[in-house]
Amino acid sequence: MAIIVLEEPRRVMSEDFGPGRPEPRMGVIHAAPADPSIPGDPTDQTFCGKDTGGMEKMPYSASRPGASWYPQNLSQWVCPRCAAALRSA
């Protein structure tokens, strides 16, 4: 099964509370199955059940069978429910 890695975007106001738009920050990293009818795109829901519509696809795929589904440097942002679902699959 192909896995698509997605980021749930998060925006925060600048810390100085000055004028401007919210700045992008690292959000939660989710996993979704690949849509069999559209290669490279996720299905409508992540493994934890969230809608993938507003999420951004990350340019990552496991380098070999058995490798982690997410980039190791982003482990602190991984959705625990997606991770648990993939462990039990």
Instruction: Give me the chain's average pLDDT, please.
Output: 86
Contacts of 79 (CB under 8 A, 6+ apart): 8, 28, 29, 30, 31, 46, 48
Task: Supply the pLDDT for residue 14.
Answer: 61
pLDDT tier at 9 (50, 70, 90 boundaries)?
Answer: confident
Q: What is the reported pLDDT for 45?
A: 97
pLDDT digits 0-9 by tens, 36-78: 999 889 999 999 999 999 899 999 988 888 889 999 999 999 9
Cα distances (Å, whole numbers) of residue 35 to 32, 40, 88: 9, 7, 20
Residue 54 Cα to chain centre, angstroms:
11
**Sequence ranges of the domains in the chain:** 1-11+25-61+75-89
- The pLDDT of residue 71: 92
**pLDDT score recorded for residue 70:** 94
